[in-house]
Structure 1
Amino acid sequence: MAARYQQPVQNADYSNPTVLIIGAGISGICMAIDLIRRHNCHNFIIVEKSSYVGGTWGDNRYPGSRCDVWSHLYSYSFEASDWTREFSSQKEIHTYLVRTAQKWGLYEYIRFNTIVEEARWSDRLSKWETAVRVSSGSKDAETTDSYTITSDFLVSAVGQLNSPYYPEIPGINTFEGKILHSARWDWNHKTERKKIAVIGSGATAAQLIPEVAKDAKNVTVFQRTPNWVIPREDADIPQWRRNLYRYVPGARRRYRAELMDIRESALFDAIVTNDENGKDLLRSMSLDLMKRQIQNNPKLIKNLTPDYPPGCKRVIISDDLFSALDQPHVALETEKIKSITSDSITTENNEYKVDMIVLATGFRTIEFLYPIKVYGLEGRSIQDIWQGGARAYLGMTVESLPNFAMLYGPNTNLGHNSIILMIEAQSRYISEIIKKVCEAKARNKSLALSPSQQTVQLFNEEIQEKLLKSTYANPTCKSWYKMEDGLITNNWSGTVIEYQKLTSAIRWTDYLVSGSYAKTLTDSNTSHVGRVVEETMIGRFGMKVLFITLSSTAFFVWRHLR
């Protein structure tokens, strides 16, 4: 007879799964698939506040939305895709995630339009009690508009880019035109012949400005600080290459590995470290692009040139931003917004009449888990645990929160590579912990574990020491990577490979383990997790020699077997 954790949740145990996953985006999908394919665990629920899978790639449907990482790196290692462009659009990425969820049968496990309001660890039950609310207007809400899910393990897959940030500008609520956040785009509201204000000039703004400028009457971009912008060099992937990746064994994986090498070496040095040669290269790429695309407008060039090193803030990639900003009907405003009225935006010296305001103001990135309320051992709140800034062991597990883990948590964001590589490493690690909890439950035993305070403290002291030497810590710029006091809570301090190796085994001595199954872990000391090797192992010359050798061998065998 199969253990309970191997069986999907049925009506009788509708609110009592072994595992509860919050979020059906990239992280939640990866976590669910790993539970199935690595540990044959099916007794889990995914709750998703939206009506669709895909997370940020379902939310960010604004014009021009696309990925800033090469398509062949922005996919799961275990689920390849026939990408059509070097940098995929939002639509293609979202379709990929929907297709992956369908292939693995995840819709059976997902409860849409379900909002998590509070998660509380029960010391008495040694389980999580998670209060959820069903969105009004749905059929489920006619049955019950809220209920509590009791689980042995809780996984947060809400990520860092899920709660839009709405700026507090005097008078913003008096505006009578259309206001929308880029992550909540309303395609029913057209931009043709509109006077549009774009507040923000980061990566999102860089993608949507060229698109809305195509048919708007005029566009005013309100920029707080300029950004380093380098060419995207996007292009269609020709059919012959797509066929090569599809039919030639190893070709797609090899291409992905070479892209990985570029991001992990040259790009890492240029963006994350204080390598001056790399920084000079990025500067020259940005300035050359600016000079090519902006004609006879020295003031615009000056206002678009940063005074901080590349990498301090997110480096933007775009093939058309500068040319879009140089159009007669597009204006760049660098003065701080003073107020908003019913039909205009005012700065210290200028007033702009507008019909539509687009907030390209990003997300509440340093408020992890927001707005979910979380309470751990003895009712200790996450606000209390994270006084002074969010922190977690390996960016995943948190002190005083037993049987809890998060994907894309504190200090796991990247400035140089694909976040999916990090998410896969985290999912493998977390699924191994969950496996032990499932084993205990199958034997009618108990198991609860959380990292010790010392473990979390030592880990974070080490990465903060490294981050202080990185470009992210440069005091000349503010970014969503860090808090007001300069503490970097979002970004990882090293390469992806370093993180993969660090998470390739679980040291149970790093955890406070309790329950009747605890001795099994303390006796084993460590558990092997492994990692997906993404980088190239053989250089191009070696590949050429290998190809010639294999071809010669195949020809020799063919001749002697004719």
Structure 2
Amino acid sequence: MTSTPRFTDTKILIIGGGISGMAMAIELITRYKIKNIVIIEKSGGFGGTWRDNIYPGAACDVFSSLYSYSFAQKFDFSRTLPGQEELLEYLTDVAQEYKLYQIARFNSSVRGLEWNDDEMRWHTTVIIDGGKDAEYGNSYEIVSDFVISAIGQTCKPKGFDIPGLSDFKGKVMHSARWDRGFNIANKRVAIIGTGSTSAQIVPEIAKVVAHLTVCQRTPGFVIPRHDHELPQWQRFLRSYIPPLRRRVRAEAMNFRELFHQAVTNADSPYADLMRQMNSGLIEKQLSHRPDLQEKVKPRYKPGCKRTVITNDYYPALAQENVDLETAHIERITKDGIKLEGIDEAKEIDVLILATGFDTFNFLGGLQISGLNGQKLEEIWPGGVAKALKGIMIPSLPNFGMLYGPNTNLSHNSLILVIEAQARCLSAMIDRIYALRQAENGTLAVWPRKEVTEMHWEKLQERLQKTSFSDPACTSWWKRPDGTIVNNYPGTAIDYQRLLETVKWQDFDAIGTAADRFTAEVNKHSTQNVPRVVEEAWLSRGSIVAVALGTLAAGVTLHRVWRQIAPLRM
């Protein structure tokens, strides 16, 4: 024996231990009783985004009542919009509850994946990045029946390509790689970027730094952040009264779904409301700074870029120790930042890159060879990512992905999307295993290229009619040529319904069980995957009417019982 089979051989390999990877593993374990799973995670623990992003002010911009798994709902968050530490604690608790630590391998990364046509299995090269495990060996190979990528769209920080950066002698930090051991107090700081991340960092560090220069390329659409601490009595009621907590979550769901019109249809009343909220915030918070009012005013359609939700960003820009610069960055010097049109460079000690992520590289730069040795760059010419329903890729057999191309939402909780994807992929895996076992053979399935292309073309046609396509701005979900490869055009419910049905005729198959697969497709061409229904079906008025009707019925029954009870004695 040259290796430990349980260590190097598994049914399902999941790449990534964030919200997506956890959801996928839990779905497989709880619903389909599949336990032969390995999770490869690059960092030292579960949490994904909420483990990576530890910058000052890091917090969620989706209501806490909606930002938890449907199967592990948390209603005792301390705030309506919880912070990073509380969210990481929640995810850690979920991982412990479902015993995910038993199947996880941390401080490990995937270098490449190769499909073996003869074995009809995936061979994945894993690199051990550090710790004691690296003393036993720096790499090994895992062979698996299926591979699920849970890497996501925001795993790789985006670099900053500007002359002179390597010459800078001060401290450089990306927002997603924050050095918590570095003391930023009393330093001269410059931050590049004015999106949601920067809007959370700026107010926090402006309190302690000597001077802060905020470098803005495009102003964000800023609206108020309705965040407050949740009283103990509310948390208690939500935790122990199921109908109430379901109602709170449903109302949050309905509210966020309504926001879809605001960020996709610039002519909608919701988009007008968003404009009013933004202009009202500017006028109120920057009334004494007309120079800043003009600088921060967005000049594009609401929703073209990710909406910034904050109450303290504009006031922070107005502080005496803060400058908002809109000039082009010419270069970085050894001790500062040189702006176009300004003779002298601004001297700084710290440069913060709030420049986002490499969101067009959906598989994190992995080297992937699929069917017949076809490389990923051949499957995705020009780097344009295309996946059927955002979860499966042509020529990659028995391969799935979560939070893939055109599945991002800019109006609602991504957990809604991720759960639907995990449900759909798990149901497909279970069906494939069932067909394999029936023939005691092999079976590999992948989406047909023409079906995937048609799906992608229909999405692009819809997306080009939304605010996402506004040429007046750039965003992390739109390529330079205008192709939108990240966002989904519909609502969260629309996407959930898209995944409710698996059309097996959209797939090709090979293996000894391929004939049975074809026969099954001819007999039962579709498979139903029930979605999690979380929206409210009844209005508040209807609920009150039902409650009153139930109460009245109860009173009537009580009266009838009092009348007949003596007759029964």
Give the TM bin, normalised by the shorter chain: over 0.9
Distance 1:76 1:301, change over 3 A: same
Q: Secondary structure at the match of 2:8?
A: coil
2:227 maps to 1:222: no
Name the structure 1 match of 2:330. 338
Name the structure 2 match of 1:15. 8
Name the structure 1 match of 2:526. 526
Name the structure 2 match of 1:467. 463
Conservation of the 8 A alpha-carbon contact between 2:397 and 2:446: yes
Shift of 1:461: 1.0
Conservation of the 8 A alpha-carbon contact between 1:413 and 1:419: yes
Give, in whole Å, the separation in 1 of the partners of 2:545 and 2:268. 36
2:415 maps to 1:420: yes
Q: Secondary structure at the match of 2:361?
A: coil
Q: Secondary structure at the match of 1:408?
A: coil
Letter in 2 for 1:452: R
Name the structure 1 match of 2:450. 454
2:483 maps to 1:490: no
Tell me the TM-score normalized by structure 1: 0.96
Name the structure 1 match of 2:121. 127
Give, in whole Å, the separation in 1 of the partners of 2:558 and 2:211. 68
Give, in whole Å, the separation in 2 of the partners of 1:558 and 1:72. 37
Shift of 1:333: 0.6
Name the structure 2 match of 1:436. 431
Shift of 1:278: 2.1
Q: Secondary structure at the match of 1:436?
A: helix
Match of 2:387 among 392, 395, 404: 392
Shift of 1:322: 0.3
- What are the Cα deviations for residues 341-377 of structure 1, in whole angstroms up to 9, with x where unaligned? 1211001133211011110000000111122111111
- What are the Cα deviations for residues 468-511 of structure 1, in whole angstroms up to 9, with x where unaligned? 11110111111111111000000001011111111012111011
Shift of 1:438: 2.9
Name the structure 2 match of 1:517. 513
Name the structure 2 match of 1:4. none
Shift of 1:525: 1.5
Name the structure 2 match of 1:254. 247
Q: Secondary structure at the match of 1:432?
A: helix
Give, in whole Å, the separation in 1 of the partners of 2:394 and 2:270. 38
Matches of residues 103-502 of structure 1 in structure 2 within 5 Å?
103-136=97-130, 138-265=131-258, 267-350=259-342, 351-388=345-382, 389-443=384-438, 444-502=440-498
2:528 maps to 1:536: no
Q: Secondary structure at the match of 1:224?
A: coil
Conservation of the 8 A alpha-carbon contact between 1:295 and 1:326: no
- Residues 94-103 or 372-381, more deviating: 372-381
Aligned residues: 551
Shift of 1:336: 1.1
Give, in whole Å, the separation in 2 of the partners of 1:143 and 1:442. 36
Conservation of the 8 A alpha-carbon contact between 1:437 and 1:446: no
Unaligned runs of 5+ in 1: 1-9
Shift of 1:554: 4.5
Q: Secondary structure at the match of 1:152?
A: strand
2:86 maps to 1:92: yes
Conservation of the 8 A alpha-carbon contact between 2:265 and 2:271: no
Shift of 1:11: 4.7
Tell me the TM-score normalized by structure 2: 0.94
Give, in whole Å, the separation in 2 of the partners of 1:134 and 1:202. 34
Conservation of the 8 A alpha-carbon contact between 1:272 and 1:471: yes
- Residues 98-107 or 547-556, more deviating: 547-556
- What are the Cα deviations for residues 540-559 of structure 1, in whole angstroms up to 9, with x where unaligned? 11111121233344555667
Shift of 1:517: 2.6
Q: Secondary structure at the match of 1:465?
A: helix
- Residues 515-524 or 306-315, more deviating: 515-524
Letter in 1 for 2:513: Y
- What are the Cα deviations for residues 195-231 of structure 1, in whole angstroms up to 9, with x where unaligned? 0110111110000000000100010000111011000
Shift of 1:338: 0.8
- Residues 238-247 or 193-202, more deviating: 238-247
Shift of 1:56: 0.8
Give, in whole Å, the separation in 1 of the partners of 2:545 and 2:552. 11
Name the structure 2 match of 1:26. 19
Give, in whole Å, the separation in 1 of the partners of 2:5 and 2:446. 30
- What are the Cα deviations for residues 521-550 of structure 1, in whole angstroms up to 9, with x where unaligned? 423222111100111111111111121233
- What are the Cα deviations for residues 131-154 of structure 1, in whole angstroms up to 9, with x where unaligned? 110013x11111121011110000
- What are the Cα deviations for residues 178-198 of structure 1, in whole angstroms up to 9, with x where unaligned? 101000011110111010110
Match of 2:69 among 76, 82, 103: 76
Conservation of the 8 A alpha-carbon contact between 1:506 and 1:527: yes
Q: Secondary structure at the match of 2:411?
A: coil
- What are the Cα deviations for residues 453-475 of structure 1, in whole angstroms up to 9, with x where unaligned? 11101111111111011110111
Q: Percent identity?
A: 43
Name the structure 2 match of 1:545. 545
Q: Secondary structure at the match of 2:534?
A: coil
Give, in whole Å, the separation in 2 of the partners of 1:343 and 1:217. 16
Superposed CA RMSD in Å reads 1.5
Shift of 1:275: 2.8
Which of these two proteins has the greater Rg computed from alpha carbons? 2
Name the structure 1 match of 2:57. 64
Conservation of the 8 A alpha-carbon contact between 2:266 and 2:272: no
Q: Secondary structure at the match of 2:10?
A: coil
- Residues 465-474 or 343-352, more deviating: 343-352
Letter in 1 for 2:457: E
Conservation of the 8 A alpha-carbon contact between 2:266 and 2:302: no
